[in-house]
Amino acid sequence: MKQLITLLSFLSVLSTTNITFSQVLYQSASNGVWSSAATWLTSTDGGSTWFPAANPPSGSESITVDDTVEVDVAVNISGYVTLSGTGNIEINTGSITFANGSTYEHARNSGGIPVSTWASGSTCKITGVTNQLPANRNQSYYNLVYNCPGQSGNYNMGFNNVTIGGDITVLSTGTNGRWYLCGPLADSTAIVTIMGDLIQSAGQVSSNGSGNGGTTIIIHQYGDIIASNGNFSISRGSQGGTGTTSWYLHGTNFSMTNVTTQNSNPTGAKFIFAGEHSNT
């Protein structure tokens, strides 16, 4: 009985003093493979002190990679992965799946987004671009967030045969930078499907900025477009005067407030209000 009273008293102290246990953090210690503990450091005090890891991360933790880490096993990420500094995650003999509720943040310039499976409810955030987008960006994400206040140029995601299962959110493209979905080569086609909303609160966003002739861009948007600041345009590229952009709007709302819009390919680029129906 005395032990029970002591335990109850301890739990009572926890509830009244708001004691919390720190989440385990991981960061790369050096170049290495994901499955080796020697590749990793851990911290339980919010990152003030770091110790050699006894085990590699399971995927549920907050993980920072600023070295080159090769994925040699099947990794299921349910936590938060940040790529920073000069870090890279390279797929070797393994694989990465970002599960529902997980986040990958590309917080560095250049580098490469790991080629991954992006499950429903996962999020890819691109936040560190200054003068070069990451490689491997032409992937079918679920939620995609673009927020690069240090961006200094005009860059395109190079999307083709890509499906965005959730929303695209654009928060910043730098002071004068532009962010394009597509950048097809001359006489080629790019097809993009967006199942959710495109939400823009700042920056400059467009389907493309290409001057390449004969290009065909087709976008099917099943959610809404909500642009509340910046520049949102159907095409910022002339497409050589011979290319076309067809952005099919299947959602219920197309809202532009405090937004500049323009069309650099007025004879070939257009929004098409296609009505509400499924993509099947």
Residue type, 35: S
* CA angle centred on 64, ends 58 and 70, rounded to 5°: 65
Confidence of residue 15 (pLDDT cuts 50, 70, 90): very low
Q: 51: how many CB neighbours lie within 10 A of its CB? A: 10
- Give backbone dihedrals phi and psi of 92, rounded to 5 degrees, phi first: -105, -100
pLDDT at 278: 52
Mean pLDDT score of the chain: 92
Percent of the chain, pLDDT > 70? 90
Largest alpha-carbon pair distance within the chain?
Answer: 86
pLDDT at 277: 58
Rounded-to-integer distance, Cα 56 and Cα 61, Å: 11
Confidence of residue 23 (pLDDT cuts 50, 70, 90): confident
Tokens of 68: 């080159």
pLDDT at 201: 98
pLDDT at 77: 98
Ranking 59-63, 239-243, 274-278 by mean pLDDT, the lowest is 274-278
14 pLDDT more than 90: no
21 pLDDT more than 60: no
pLDDT at 171: 98
Q: Specify the pairing of strand 62-65 against strand 25-28.
A: parallel
Rounded-to-integer distance, Cα 225 and Cα 56, Å: 41
The whole-number average pLDDT for the span 196-218 is: 98
Confidence of residue 275 (pLDDT cuts 50, 70, 90): confident
Which residues, including other chains, have CB under 8 Å from residue 98's CB and lie 6 or more apart? 77, 81, 104, 116, 117, 118, 119, 122, 123, 124
**Per-residue pLDDT tens for 171-191?**
999 999 999 999 999 999 999
72 pLDDT more than 50: yes
**Per-residue pLDDT tens for 233-265?**
999 999 999 999 999 999 989 999 999 999 999
Tokens of 268: 């070939």
Tokens of 254: 């197309």
The SS3 of residue 41 is strand
3 pLDDT more than 80: no
Rounded-to-integer distance, Cα 78 and Cα 59, Å: 6
